Chains A and B, each alone.
Chain A
Amino acid sequence: MNQPPVIEIKNVSYRYDRDNVLENIQLSVPKGAFLGLVGPNGSGKSTLLKLILGLLKVKEGEVFLFGTPQKSFKNWDRIGFVSQKANSFNTGFPATVYEVVASGLTKKLGLFRRPGSKEKQAIKAAVEAVGMEAFLTRNIGELSGGQQQRIFIARAIVSKPDILILDEPTVGVDSKNVESFYNMLAYLNQQMGITLLLVTHDIGIISDKVTHVACLNKYLHFHGSMQQFETLDEEDLSDLYGHGIHLLDHHHEHQGADV
């Protein structure tokens, strides 16, 4: 059986004002993959995700979701999204973990419908999948950055999407918890079969978790499996990437906000 890629991007270019920030991008995410999309700050990673999600309008090129052109795509609940800004939400918001995760079902339930027992099960299961079941009745603001990010992932997977898209989810997660955070992502990918598209500006720490890599800096400089990526040497990498990247540096400090 030949399944279409979960996401397929063909010849996409994009500009906000004058200059293109993305130029002729070709990218596909096969079903079941864990794709790491890497690139320095300002390389257009978030822009590309917004185009995929329809938050920005694709003007040049085409985006296909599950084989359907984005324009006619309706099943948005098949795509889960954890945005870069998730950790800069209003932390004083008086919502429990349960309420936040439940809000991930809003679209799937549709107007006027309230969560029933099936949905309540799904909420509990999603919170368990991210290892946060002990915190269901806590206010979201009382949790650490890393714990909050797990809750946002639970919110994204509660509607049982086929793919989860994450934009720099470890910004604001403290460095000693980053490893277990990525382990949790690998669990979602391998045990729950969720395709992952992870944006980061640090490939080093995820190199043993991802199955595919794409390097973006306005142009897509490399796109292939992790095995192919590992055959490249440092010099190829800096050519590809412009800045040079640290494949082996697992202790790379995570920097602050990247807007």
Chain B
Amino acid sequence: MIEAIGQYEFLQNAFLTGMIIGVIAPLLGAFIVVRRLSLIADALSHVTLAGIAAGLYFSQTFTFLAWLNPMYSGMVFSIIGSLFIERLRTVYKHYQELAIPIILSGGIGVGVIFISLADGFNTDLFSYLFGSVSAVSREDLWLICLISLIVIATVYLLYKELFLLSFDEEHAKASGIPAKSIHFIFIILVALVIAASMRIVGVLLVSALMTLPVAAAMRMAKGFKQTIAYSVLFGEIAVLAGLVSAFYLDLAPGGTIVVASILILLLVIAAKKFTKAG
């Protein structure tokens, strides 16, 4: 395996990308889970899917758009989707969760239209849906590096504001911090991370990588910083284990990464039970 990585650029790309998203997806996921926004990540990933389908369609159909990397259109859709969700959440103040099915089905609907326009499923689309060990290009890798720099720097700089907003939104507002802007920045970060992660785990399973490691971490962490640390650790293990098995067994890494995450979660729950009983 190590040899293979040294030899093939596509494997280097996949593993580097995997290690990066193994950090940033659970990092943001920790905030998403404690704020009970897991479904928003799900909705946004479906909007991203629509963006990817649109990108694939346009780059196939119009030669002057052949340069278009579907990741860009996915990212743009995802950010627009996040703006829509926020808008809907203020329109339906008392039914905030209503924004989610609206955006989610909208994303799938638009996605399906572009998929049928492009004449159905092809392998490219499959790799975006469920991830791929071979599809990450150098260009993708650079873009993902850039996104992760932005995400990590922002979370580092705004940590205490993000923490307060997550722990107690009302207090955040009462204390006079710019809660709205902080929340807005946060949602944009989520959109970016989804776009960055989909090459490896696939659009449909991005939210799993954001939430499952956190679910496991919360079982054993003392405090929020520890929750983040464990989440990143579990996310990293899941991605690496998932990628290695995907490579050897020729499977879609989205599936193997999610299965690895679930195994970690089960192990943690079992270990916790065991230590309590003993």
Q: Which residues of A contact B (CB under 8 A)?
A: 53-55, 76-77, 81, 83, 85-86, 89-90, 92-96, 98-100, 102-107, 109, 111-112, 114-115, 137-139, 155
Contact = CB atoms under 8 A, between A and B. Distances in A.
B224 A99 contact: yes
Interface in B12-43: 34, 36
A100 B167 contact: yes
Contact of B170 (A85, A90, A94, A137): A85
Given A93-B167, A95-B223, A107-B176, A112 B218 contact: no
Interface string B182-226: 000000000000000000000000000000000001100111111
Judged by DSSP, the binding face of B is helix
A230 to B, nearest CB: 34
Contacts of A105: 160
B171 interface: yes
B157 A53 contact: no
Interface in B151-191: 157-161, 163-164, 166-168, 170-177
A23 B159 CA distance: 42
A95 B167 contact: yes
A137 B222 contact: yes
A101 B176 CA distance: 17
Query: Which of B160, B163, B166, B225 gathers the greatest number of chain A CB atoms within 10 Å?
Result: B160
Given A89-B168, A93-B34, A94-B34, A106 B175 contact: yes
B173 A99 contact: no
A139 B222 contact: yes
Contact of B175 (A99, A107, A115, A137): A107
A103 to B, nearest CB: 5
Nearest to B30: A94
A85 B168 CA distance: 10
A81 B163 contact: no
B223 A83 contact: no
Contacts of A99: 163, 223-225
B227 interface: yes
21 contacts: A55-B174, A76-B175, A81-B171, A83-B170, A83-B171, A92-B218, A94-B218, A94-B222, A95-B163, A95-B224, A96-B223, A99-B163, A103-B164, A103-B167, A103-B168, A104-B175, A106-B161, A106-B163, A111-B158, A114-B160, A139-B223
A128 B168 CA distance: 22
Given A94-B34, A95-B224, A83 B164 contact: no
Interface of B: 34, 36, 157-161, 163-164, 166-168, 170-177, 217-218, 221-227
B222 A96 contact: yes
Contacts of B157: 111-112
Contacts of B226: 94
B171 A76 contact: no
B73 to A, nearest CB: 33
Contacts of A53: 174
Nearest to A50: B174
Contact of B223 (A54, A86, A89, A137): A137
Given A55-B173, A99-B224, A89 B167 contact: yes
Contacts of B36: 90
Contacts of B174: 53, 55, 81, 83
A189 B36 CA distance: 37
Contacts of B172: 106
Contact of B227 (A94, A102, A103, A137): A94
A109 B223 CA distance: 21
B176 A76 contact: yes
Contacts of B177: 106-107
Contacts of B160: 102-103, 105-106, 109, 114-115
A199 to B, nearest CB: 15
A204 B249 CA distance: 73
Contacts of A86: 168, 171
Given A96-B223, A103-B160, 5 more contacts: A94-B217, A99-B225, A102-B160, A103-B164, A106-B172
A94 B173 CA distance: 21
A162 to B, nearest CB: 15
A132 to B, nearest CB: 15
B268 to A, nearest CB: 14
B221 A94 contact: yes
A165 B158 CA distance: 27
A156 to B, nearest CB: 9
A244 to B, nearest CB: 33
Query: Which of A54, A76, A111 gathers the greatest number of chain B CB atoms within 10 Å?
Result: A111
Contacts of A90: 34, 36, 167
